[in-house]
Amino acid sequence: MTQTVVLATRNQHKVEELRRILSAVDLDVELVGIDAFPDLPEVAETGSSFAANALLKARDVAQRTSLTAIADDSGLSVDALNGMPGIFSARWAGRHGDDQANLELLLAQMVDVPDGRRSAAFHCAAAVVTAGGDERVVEGVLEGQIIREPRGRNGFGYDPIFTPHGYALTTAELRPEEKDAISHRGQAFRALVPVVAELITDR
């Protein structure tokens, strides 16, 4: 019997990414975003870590929908900025989700940082919470560096200014399947798949 699982986001990039990963395994799940539930309120990300924020969102959606819910919180940590923007990545320029403004502000803050000190890492925590209250969190990390000019149109967020270690291309220049294979979110979502399978099988 197909079970509906809710990914606690209105970001279709994330929904499509997790759908691609789920489609590669034999798991009878229908994944929907919270657009399928127009009355759901936004959950305030008041946690002090990626894991805490992911759990806040997953718990709220699981409680309100009575379905298994998945949520992630992710962001970019830049060494030259003492690990920032971190959990504030999506609202670094002041308004949540303004990718272009966030990217431009970050580049401006790093304009005097030499190439050898532009190391950074994408972090992702993904949480799954069942309607019965079982919950798990997994994490993924992708290390790399910040370049000086945006390149590529395949990604979103800070993808156009981030090159993973060992790659000349930015994560916005990689094909979706290439990015899925190495990305912080891809790592976390793949680690979450067997956890989801275990939890929904136990129900």
pLDDT tens, position by position, 38-66: 888 888 888 999 999 999 999 999 999 99
Cα–Cα distance for residue pair 196/137, rounded to 1 Å: 11
Strand partners, 145: 119, 163
35 is known as an active-site residue? no
Domain ranges of the chain: 3-202
Q: State the pLDDT at residue 202.
A: 57
Letter for the amino acid at 5? V
Q: What pLDDT does residue 11 have? A: 83
* CATH for 3-202, options being 3.90.950.10, 3.40.710.10, 3.20.20.70, 3.40.50.2000: 3.90.950.10
- Average of per-residue pLDDT across 66-78: 95
Q: How confident is the model at residue 201 (pLDDT cuts 50, 70, 90)?
A: confident
Q: State the pLDDT at residue 32.
A: 94
What is the C-alpha to C-alpha distance for residues 183 and 46, in angstroms, rounded to an integer?
A: 25
Between 128 and 97, where is the model more confident? 128
- Which pLDDT value is given to residue 159? 95
Largest Cα–Cα distance in the chain? 57
pTM of the model: 0.88
Q: What is the pLDDT of residues 181-198, one digit of tens each?
A: 899 988 999 999 899 888
DSSP strand pairing (29-33 vs 119-129): unpaired
> Span 115-136, mean pLDDT?
95
Active-site position among 73, 115, 180, 202: 73
HSE toward the beta carbon, residue 65, CA cutoff 13 A: 28
Could you identify the residue written with the tokens 């320029």? 93
Residue 203 pLDDT > 70, yes or no? Answer: no
Cis omega before residue 85 (within 30°)? yes
Q: How far apart are CA 140 and CA 37, in angstroms?
A: 28
pLDDT, mean of residues 133-142:
95
- Give the model's pLDDT for residue 76: 97
Q: Mean per-residue pLDDT for 166-178?
A: 93
Mean pLDDT of 125-148: 96
> For 75-124, what is each residue's pLDDT tens digit?
999 999 999 999 999 999 988 778 999 999 999 999 999 999 999 999 99
